[in-house]
Every structure is written in structure tokens, then in C-alpha cells.
């Protein structure tokens, strides 16, 4: 399967809009899913490493530009997420929902842990105000793991929306070519 | 004649007694003053009763005679009372309506060297780590980061209640605001009651509850910080002007490992319900020149 650049752009922009506005109302215990990361993982699974990396890069870049603090942080991490899940693509049957959920979960945990480490290492070295162990514990149990679970939940509908949209386009393209 | 003689004698006797009595009573230090009590003591309650009754009677007679006048006056008073009630209600409405605006105006008066610009929040943070939001004011409203010239480089963001944060980057039509509950935010502050300087920081673990933390309070030098203390900006560091309310201390704790205390602060601003904020643009340039907009 291929995701056209136009489709990818539409997905990224619409997901970014939802992410920064409506998703606030879907928060559970202050946590919302990261739809742009889920998009990068889905793209990697559906299309492969290189396209996954490109779509992941632009999805992360959109996140950086919208509300990021460090320019390029999300872009690089999302690109890596897309690239790495793209490697699963070749080895496992990609329409398997368990593969999708496992990939989203693993990518979310790695991605958010990396954000936490890159962002918070200075504080971890100098000593947090409330204690380092408490802080790491909080980050893992209250942010990283809940978000990974929420991402898994969000990934299933998003995955099928991507498949349906891209298939229809591909079919139309095929018809046009045949004509 | 006998009769007359007797009578004359009695009159003369009485007359003499009276003269003697007058002579005895007339002196202020007379020892016979107590004789007056014979009359005054039993009579005084009746006197009192009668005089009060008389006054009442007089009043009621007056009331009857003035009843018509009073009725008219009463009607007039009722009318004016209704009018006043209405005016009072209107005033109360206007007061509540203007409360928010007045707060902002008071900000304008207190921070005369700043322009106050209202802004709507148009997007919230996409991730779960930070607390950054986007407002609908940007470079088109002269919010230009690091600019030397028209406005100074820092743009504190406030509401009528207190400090929200500051702008960290601006775009053509929007800006990113770093709120004080974000882990990356540090505000130099003072405890209002004793003016000791502290640092108010955001914390990942407190962000979702909308709280901040004051760290690095050395043990033994706890600066007298206690729950209920108000904390405001110190003006040090040049980002935030002096005297903006940040919030109230709700808890003081100790970290034995780092040998210091910390305090948890509840910001005056409710970050959950935040919709409209105000951006402060300094009119004073980096050269100390005042800009007339």
C-alpha cells in the first residue's frame, strides 16, 4: 500500500487540529492519546520504513510547530518511530490487529520515554524537588503507560480510516489508468 | 368671737410654724431635707406613669391630626424606595459585569508602562508532557520575540486573577504561551508577607492538578513560608513585572535527601477553565525610551 503525499498532508493537518483542540475533552486522568505518533506507526506498518519515516517526520514537525518547545524533537522521534515500525512490516503480517496494537504500544513507550529523558535529564541529574524516584515513577505510571494504552485504543479506528481512504484512492487511480 | 379667736390663734400658730419651717428648710445643709421624701418617694412612680401617658397621648393626638399628611408622605417614600431598589439592582448588575474589566483596568493602572492586549486561547498542548497553549495574537499585534525597538522582548500573560505565563514564540497570527505550571517555567517570586525571594516552578507531577512548586528552600531558613501565604512576582529577572499575584501556598513539605524544603502553590489562575487571557506589551524599549503608541 502507498499513502500519497496529499493524503498524508491531509491526515497530518486534520489530526494536528483534532490533537490540539478537541482531544482536550477526551482526556482520561489528564492524559490524551498522541494521534500524530499513532499516524507515524500506522504509516510505517502500512507502507514500510522509508515512507513511515517521512510521514513520521512531517507529523512530528507539525507537532513541534504547533505546540513544541524544542524544535525538531518530535520530528526526529516520530521519524524514528515510523522507520522502526516500517521494519516490522516486512516480517509480520500487517493486517493483524495484535501486531498493530503491540507496535503502537512499544512505539509509544519508547517515544514518550525518550521525550522524558531528553527533556528531563538535566533535572534528573541535579535532583528533582520532589525526589528523582518519585518523578520517574510518576512519569512512567501516570503518563507513559496510560498514554501508550490510550494510543492503542485510538490506533484501531485510525488504522482502518487510513486503509479505507488510501484504498479508495488507489482504486480510483487504477480505474483512471485503465481508461 | 370665740370661734374667731380660735381660728385667729390657729392661723397665727400655723403661720409661725411655717416661718420656722421655712427658716429650717431654707438652708441647703438643712437636716430636715429628708422630710421632702415623705411626699416625693410615694409619688414619683405615679408621676412617671402620668408623664409618659401624657406624652403618648400627645403623640397619638398628633398622629390623628397628621394622618393624612403621613399617608401621602408614605406613598411618596414607597415610590422613591421602589425607584432606589431598581437603581440598586441595576448598579449590582453593572458591578458584576464590570468586575472582570475593572480588574484588567486596575492592571492597566498599576502597570502603566504596559499595553494590555486581550487574546483567546485557540489550541492546547498536543502532548502530555508540557503545558503550552496557543493564543490568537502574534507578530501582527507587535508581539515579536527578542525585538529591540518598539516593544521589549518579554510578553507576560495574565488574567484578572493573576499570572498565567509568558509568550515563548510568536508567529504571524498566533503565539505560544508557556504557562507557569509547565516544567520548563521558572518565575522569580516573593512571599508577600515578608518579601523573601523564592522560585516558582512547574512540575510534571503537579501540572495536571494545576499546581506549582517552590523549591530550594534551605532547611533552617524556611523564609517563614506557611500554607495560606500569598506569592507574587518579584520583578527580578526582567521577564515579569513586579507585583503580579501568582497564587497561594497550600502545602509545605521537606525533602530530607536534598536537605531542603519545598512548598506547593495553587495559582490564582484556574488553568482548566482558561479561555481569555491578556498579553502585556511593555512600552519601554531596551534603550529606556517610552513609546507612544
CB within 8 Å: A21 and B123? yes
Q: Which chain A residues contact residue B134 at CB under 8 A?
A: 20, 66-67
C-beta of residue B215 within 8 angstroms of C-beta of residue B199: yes
Which among A21, A134, A143 is the nearest to B128, CB-wise? A143
Q: Which residue has the higher pLDDT, A45 or B292?
A: A45
For the segment B183-217, what is each residue's pLDDT rounded down to a tens digit?
888 899 988 888 888 889 888 888 778 888 887 67
Query: Rounded mean pLDDT of B112-130?
Result: 83
Q: What is the predicted pLDDT for the residue at B292?
A: 45
Q: What is the ipTM of this complex?
A: 0.76
Q: What is the predicted pLDDT for the residue at A168?
A: 61
DSSP class of residue B67 equals H
- CB proximity A136 to B under 8 Å: no
- CB proximity B258 to A under 8 Å: yes
Q: What is the predicted pLDDT for the residue at B246?
A: 92
Query: Is residue B222 pLDDT above 70, yes or no?
Result: no
Task: Please report which confidence band the pLDDT of residue A178 belongs to, taking 50, 70 and 90 as the band edges.
Answer: very low
For the segment B156-189, what is each residue's pLDDT rounded down to a tens digit?
999 888 899 999 888 888 888 999 998 888 899 9
Q: What is the predicted pLDDT for the residue at B293?
A: 44
Measured in angstroms, the CA of A158 and the nearest CA of chain B are apart by 17
- Determine what percent of chain B is predicted with pLDDT higher than 70: 82
Query: Is residue A129 pLDDT above 60, yes or no?
Result: no
Query: Rounded mean pLDDT of B16-35?
Result: 71
Residue of A nearest to B208 (CA): A30
Q: How far apart are CA A67 and CA B176, in angstroms?
A: 7
Measured in angstroms, the CA of B262 and the nearest CA of chain A are apart by 7
Q: What is the dihedral of CA B44, B50, B54, B60, to 10 degrees?
A: 130
Supply φ then ψ for residue B283, to 5 degrees: -85, -10
CB within 8 Å: A20 and B127? no
Q: How far apart are CA A75 and CA B170, in angstroms?
A: 20
Query: Does the model's pTM come out above 0.90?
Result: no
In a mutagenesis test of the B interface, which of A22, A31, A69, A117 is the best target, namely the one with the most B β-carbons within 10 Å? A69
Query: Is residue A152 pLDDT above 60, yes or no?
Result: yes
Q: Which chain A residues contact residue B129 at CB under 8 A?
A: 112, 115-116, 119, 143
For the segment A57-99, what is each residue's pLDDT rounded down to a tens digit?
999 988 888 887 777 888 999 999 999 998 886 666 656 888 8
- Determine what percent of chain B is predicted with pLDDT higher than 90: 13
Q: What is the predicted pLDDT for the residue at B47?
A: 74
C-alpha cell at A3: 499513502
Residue of A nearest to B252 (CA): A130
- CB proximity A78 to B under 8 Å: no
C-beta of residue B180 within 8 angstroms of C-beta of residue B212: yes
How many A×B Cβ pairs under 8 Å? 82
Task: Please report which confidence band the pLDDT of residue A172 belongs to, taking 50, 70 and 90 as the band edges.
Answer: low
Work out the mean pLDDT of chain B and round it to a whole number: 80
Amino acid at each position: 500500500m502507498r499513502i500519497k503525499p496529499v493524503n498524508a498532508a491531509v491526515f497530518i493537518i486534520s489530526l494536528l487540529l483534532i490533537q490540539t483542540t478537541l482531544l482536550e475533552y477526551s482526556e482520561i486522568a489528564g492524559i490524551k492519546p498522541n494521534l500524530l505518533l499513532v499516524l507515524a506507526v500506522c504509516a510505517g506498518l502500512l507502507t514500510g520504513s522509508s515512507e513511515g519515516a517521512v510521514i513520521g517526520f512531517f507529523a512530528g514537525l507539525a507537532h513541534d510547530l504547533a505546540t513544541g518547545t524544542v524544535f525538531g524533537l518530535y520530528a526526529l522521534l516520530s521519524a524514528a518511530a515510523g522507520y522502526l515500525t516500517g521494519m516490522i512490516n516486512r516480517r509480520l503480517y500487517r493486517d493483524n490487529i495484535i501486531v498493530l496494537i503491540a507496535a503502537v504500544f512499544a512505539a509509544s513507550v519508547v517515544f514518550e520515554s525518550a521525550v522524558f529523558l531528553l527533556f528531563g535529564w538535566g533535572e534528573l541529574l541535579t535532583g528533582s524537588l520532589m525526589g528523582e524516584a518519585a518523578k520517574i515513577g510518576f512519569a512512567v505510571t501516570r503518563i507513559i503507560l496510560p498514554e501508550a494504552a490510550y494510543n492503542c485504543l485510538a490506533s484501531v479506528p485510525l488504522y482502518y480510516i487510513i486503509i479505507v481512504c488510501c484504498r479508495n484512492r488507489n482504486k480510483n487511480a487504477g480505474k483512471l489508468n485503465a481508461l | 368671737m370665740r370661734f374667731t379667736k380660735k381660728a385667729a390663734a390657729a392661723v397665727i400658730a400655723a403661720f409661725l410654724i411655717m416661718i420656722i419651717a421655712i427658716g429650717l428648710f431654707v438652708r441647703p445643709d438643712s437636716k430636715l431635707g429628708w422630710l421632702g421624701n415623705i411626699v416625693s418617694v410615694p409619688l414619683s412612680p405615679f408621676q412617671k406613669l402620668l408623664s409618659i401617658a401624657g406624652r403618648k397621648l400627645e403623640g397619638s393626638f398628633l398622629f390623628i391630626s397628621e394622618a393624612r399628611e403621613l399617608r401621602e408622605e408614605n406613598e411618596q417614600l414607597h415610590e422613591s424606595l421602589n425607584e432606589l431598589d431598581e437603581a440598586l439592582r441595576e448598579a449590582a448588575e453593572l458591578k458584576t459585569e464590570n468586575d472582570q474589566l475593572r480588574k484588567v483596568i486596575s492592571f492597566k493602572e498599576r502597570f502603566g508602562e504596559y499595553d494590555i492586549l486581550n487574546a483567546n486561547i485557540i489550541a492546547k498542548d498536543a502532548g502530555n508532557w508540557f503545558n503550552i497553549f496557543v493564543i490568537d495574537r502574534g507578530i501582527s499585534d507587535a508581539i515579536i520575540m527578542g525585538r529591540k525597538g518598539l516593544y521589549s522582548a518579554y510578553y507576560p500573560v495574565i488574567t484578572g486573577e493573576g499570572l498565567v505565563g509568558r509568550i515563548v514564540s510568536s508567529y504571524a497570527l498566533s503565539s505560544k504561551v508557556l504557562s507557569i505550571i509547565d516544567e520548563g517555567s521558572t518565575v522569580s517570586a516573593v512571599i508577600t508577607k515578608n518579601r523573601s525571594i523564592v522560585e516558582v516552578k512547574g512540575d510534571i507531577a503537579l501540572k495536571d492538578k494545576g499546581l506549582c512548586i517552590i523549591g530550594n528552600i534551605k532547611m533552617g531558613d524556611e523564609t517563614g513560608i506557611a500554607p495560606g501565604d500569598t506569592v507574587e512576582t518579584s520583578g527580578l529577572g526582567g521577564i515579569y513585572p513586579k507585583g503580579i499575584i501568582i497564587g497561594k501556598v497550600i502545602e509545605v513539605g521537606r525533602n530530607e535527601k536534598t536537605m531542603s524544603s519545598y512548598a506547593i502553590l495553587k495559582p490564582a489562575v484556574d488553568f482548566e477553565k482558561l479561555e481569555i487571557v491578556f498579553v502585556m506589551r511593555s512600552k519601554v524599549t531596551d534603550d529606556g525610551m517610552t513609546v507612544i503608541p
